Amino acid sequence: MAERTGPVDTQDSDADDPVQDTYSAFIKHIQQCPPCRKDGADCDTAAGLRQAWRKAKDAAVAA
Ligand SMILES: [Zn+2]
């Protein structure tokens, strides 16, 4: 449901860490999305990114 608006530009992506990657994408969105940044609102994109981050964390724990 969440659309990708462009390539995720992670600067320190030397480590193959999906948790870090998804977390960075989530934080980056918060910083760029006025409703999320100012009001702490979880817009659809933020919700999708947060879910991806959670999944990555769960996968990391399960591994
Ligand atoms: Zn947002």
What pTM was computed for the model?
0.70
CA 57–ligand 1 middle distance (angstroms): 21
Q: What's the gap in Å between 38 CA and the centre of ligand 1?
A: 10
Q: What is the dihedral of CA 4, 7, 10, 15, to 10 degrees?
A: 90
Mean pLDDT of 23-49: 96
As to burial, measured by CB atoms within 10 angstroms (0-12 exposed, 13-18 middle, 19+ buried), residue 18 is middle
State the DSSP code for 63.
Answer: -
CA distance 52 to 63: 16
Distance 18 CA to ligand 1 centre (A): 20
Per-residue tokens: 35: 């409703």
Q: Compare 38 and 63 and report the one with higher pLDDT.
A: 38
Output the CA 51–ligand 1 centroid distance in Å.
13
Reported as a single tens digit per residue, the pLDDT across 6-34 is 555 555 545 689 999 999 999 999 999 99
- Angle CA(43)–CA(45)–CA(38) in degrees, nearest 5? 45
